[in-house]
């Protein structure tokens, strides 16, 4: 579809569904934000390593609420919303029936590590060498294939009724348009090796041990149209029937687009409930400690990494160690997180010898260990809860540094710009700590809306609105905001603590595994 001069008002909606909340934005063709709306939902944790969402309530319910709220807040005529973009936490596993009704709670992305036995089963079936050839690493909790097999092994009655196995963005696109699609980025990476990377079609012989080929969605590019809003979806969302809807993608990928990861050397550092890092690369880079994919942007690859606990870690500290800050907020006082920072800035780098392993929810990269556990190392009677909180903030920085070093250990990888996004960027103390640990500049975008902004941008690209012919064209909507510069003295001090951090997991892993087993006996 070639971009031409188009007349009339033009607005683009983007809605992103995350781990603990959903957020939507309405922008015009110049990228100006006309309206924002956010809703919250809970992540269910019914058993250790099990994490779930109610897809109808948390995903579709949030989408409908946000869409209606944006239209009401802005007063925009739904007919002037030219296209809708969407993203969701990924990659999840949601079985649905022929009417797109969820058959169980959605099994969430890499944070859900229930399918350990299925990973072992598939590795034994295909062999470690073949698994590494497909993934560039062993199977891990972020892969969808073991999650599907877990349903087949443990819930055969649900498996038998399943029409499609979807991820979050696929479910929302299906609810909006009636079509079952998944973008190439998620389909080829998270559902690997169930699709042929050249034809994008399911491979029957590889699907056979896990699911039927017809139980998988059709692969399209993220900005390709999934279809148009159905009459039923129009009634529920307030959108106009017939409005184009793009295929969409995962939340991290959409947020990377929103901050300019459209060429090699650009990295998104997403500070949300977890940390997710996406660095654009020219080619696929194999490192079993990290992940690699062909990115959303055609022709661009990426190397990525994820730390399970970031915002979820600070939330744990808030709820468990700072109940007074929560009470003060409820009484009309400052935000609890603002109160928690009192005194943290005065504590020296390294928190007076206190080092935290942030593995409170197991860990993804680089250890890929669902049974990893959090550690507070070096406690003395002189430490306060402010020390504990600063050390937790530092631990996320140490994890980021560890993963960047792994990425840059590959000579073909370059990193020339880091753009930080997500709720964590609202904490300037945390941002400076991370910057000092990394020893390099960290920028934030002027527009900090997040993944939903990327969704709206891709919606404009999806219909080739005037001036938007390629992903590179979207960067004209992105402007740099605050740039954090490292303190050289703090960086030097952090180097010594980084060495201790790097050695803590290998030194405690066996004991952590033993403790994990005892906890579930």
pLDDT digits (tens, 9 = 90+) for 220-230: 999 999 999 99
Strands 94-96 and 164-166: antiparallel
Per the structure, the count of domains in the chain is 1
pLDDT tens figures, 436-469: 999 999 999 987 788 999 999 999 999 999 999 9
Q: What does the alpha-carbon distance between residue 67 and residue 72 come to, in Å, rounded to a whole number?
A: 9
Pairing of strands 106-107, 81-88: unpaired
pLDDT of residue 379: 98
How confident is the prediction for the chain on average, in pLDDT? Answer: 95
Three-state DSSP at 289 gives coil
- Evaluate whether residue 320 is within a structural domain: no
pLDDT computed for residue 90 by the predictor: 83
- Domain assignment present for 125: no
155 within a domain of the structure (yes/no):
no
CATH value at residue 303: 3.30.420.40
Helices (H) and strands (E) in the chain, counts: 18, 22
Mean pLDDT of 271-275: 90
User: pTM for the whole thing?
Assistant: 0.86
Q: Taking residues 54-74, what's their average pLDDT?
A: 98
End-to-end distance of the chain based on CA atoms, in angstroms?
Answer: 59
What digits encode the pLDDT tens for the residues 470-483?
999 999 998 899 99
Tell me the three state secondary structure of residue 118.
helix
Dihedral sign, Cα of residue 117, residue 122, residue 127, residue 131? negative
Task: List pLDDT tens digits, range 370-418.
Answer: 899 999 999 999 999 999 999 999 999 999 999 999 999 999 999 999 9
Residue 290 lies in a domain: yes
Nearest Cα to Cα of residue 143 among 173, 107, 178: 107
Cis peptide before 91 (omega within 30 of 0): yes
For residue 322, pLDDT beyond 80: yes
pLDDT-derived band at 15 (thresholds 50, 70, 90) equals: very high
Specify the residue for token string 């809860």: 385
Other CB atoms within 10 Å distance of the CB of residue 6: 12
In this prediction, residue 446 carries a pLDDT of 87
Give a yes or no: residue 100 inside a domain. Answer: no
Give the model's pLDDT for residue 447.
76
Question: How high is the pLDDT of residue 370?
Answer: 85
**Confidence class of residue 1 from pLDDT cuts 50, 70 and 90?**
very low
The confidence score (pLDDT) of residue 519 equals: 87
Q: Is 479 domain-assigned?
A: yes
pLDDT, tens only, 28-54 = 999 999 999 999 999 999 998 999 999
pLDDT at residue 196 tops 90: yes
For residues 2 and 153, the model is more confident at: 153
- The reply to whether 46 falls in a domain is no
Q: For residue 3, what pLDDT band results from cuts at 50, 70 and 90?
A: very low
Residue 6: what pLDDT? 52
What mean pLDDT comes out for the span 329-349?
97
> Which structural domain, as residue segments, surrounds residue 291?
259-309+407-484
- Judge whether 204 and 255 are in contact, CB under 8 Å: no
**Helix (H) or strand (E) run with residue 311 in it:** helix 311-321
Beta pairing partners, 218: 181
* pLDDT beyond 70 at 7: no
Strands (E), 240-298: 244-246, 249-250, 266-271, 275-281, 291-294
Split at pLDDT 50, 70, 90, the class of 277 is very high
In angstroms, the CA 476 to CA 457 distance is 11
Residue 283 in any domain: the answer is: yes
Burial profile 151-188: b = 16 or more Cβ within 10 angstroms, e = fewer: bbeeeeeebeebbbbbbbbbbbbbbbbebbbbbbbbbb
């Amino acid at each position: 579809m070639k971009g031409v001069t188009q007349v009339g008002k033009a607005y683009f909606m983007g809605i992103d569904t995350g781990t603990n909340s959903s957020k939507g934005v309405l922008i015009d063709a110049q990228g100006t934000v006309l309206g924002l709306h956010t809703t919250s939902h809970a992540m269910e944790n019914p058993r250790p390593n099990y994490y779930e969402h109610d897809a109808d309530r948390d995903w579709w319910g949030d989408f409908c609420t946000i869409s209606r709220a944006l239209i009401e807040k802005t007063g925009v005529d739904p007919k002037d919303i030219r296209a809708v973009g969407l993203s969701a936490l990924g990659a999840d596993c949601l079985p649905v029936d022929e009417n797109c009704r969820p058959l169980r709670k959605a099994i969430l992305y890499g944070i859900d590590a229930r399918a350990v036995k299925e990973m072992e089963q598939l590795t034994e079936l295909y062999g470690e060498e073949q698994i590494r050839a497909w993934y560039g690493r062993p199977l891990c909790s972020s892969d969808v294939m073991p999650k599907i097999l877990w349903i087949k092994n443990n819930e055969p009655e649900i498996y038998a009724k399943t029409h499609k196995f979807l991820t979050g963005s696929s479910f929302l696109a299906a609810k909006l348009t009636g079509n079952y699609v998944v973008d190439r980025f998620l389909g080829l990476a998270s559902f690997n090796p169930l699709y042929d990377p050249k034809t994008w079609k399911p491979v029957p012989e590889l699907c056979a041990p896990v699911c039927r080929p017809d139980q998988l969605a059709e692969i399209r590019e993220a900005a390709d149209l999934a279809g148009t809003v159905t009459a039923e979806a129009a009634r529920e969302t307030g959108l106009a029937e017939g409005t184009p809807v793009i295929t969409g993608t995962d939340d991290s990928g959409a947020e990377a687009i929103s901050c300019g990861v459209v060429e090699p050397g650009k990295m998104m550092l997403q500070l949300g409930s977890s940390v997710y890092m996406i660095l654009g690369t020219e080619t696929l880079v194999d490192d079993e400690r990290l992940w690699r994919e062909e990115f959303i942007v055609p022709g661009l690859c990426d190397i990525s990494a994820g730390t399970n606990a970031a915002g979820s870690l600070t939330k744990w500290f808030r709820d468990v160690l700072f109940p007074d800050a929560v009470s003060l907020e409820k009484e009309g006082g400052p935000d609890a997180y603002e109160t928690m920072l009192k005194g943290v800035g005065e504590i020296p780098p390294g928190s007076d010898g206190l080092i935290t392993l942030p593995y409170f929810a197991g860990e993804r990269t680089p250890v890929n260990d669902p049974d990893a556990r959090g550690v507070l190392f070096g406690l003395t009677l002189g430490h306060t809860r402010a020390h504990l909180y600063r050390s937790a903030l530092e631990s996320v920085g140490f994890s980021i540094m560890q993963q960047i070093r792994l990425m840059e250990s590959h000579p073909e990888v370059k990193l020339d710009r880091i753009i930080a996004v997500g709720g964590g960027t609202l904490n300037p103390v945390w941002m400076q700590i991370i910057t000092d640990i990394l020893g390099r500049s960290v920028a934030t975008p002027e527009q900090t809306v997040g993944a939903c902004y990327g969704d709206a941008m891709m919606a404009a690209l999806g219909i080739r609105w005037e001036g938007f012919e390629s992903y590179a064209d979207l960067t004209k909507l992105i402007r740099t905001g605050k740039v954090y510069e490292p303190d050289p003295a703090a960086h030097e001090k952090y180097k010594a603590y980084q060495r201790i951090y790097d050695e803590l997991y290998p030194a405690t892993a066996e004991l952590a595994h033993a403790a994990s087993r005892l906890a579930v006996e």
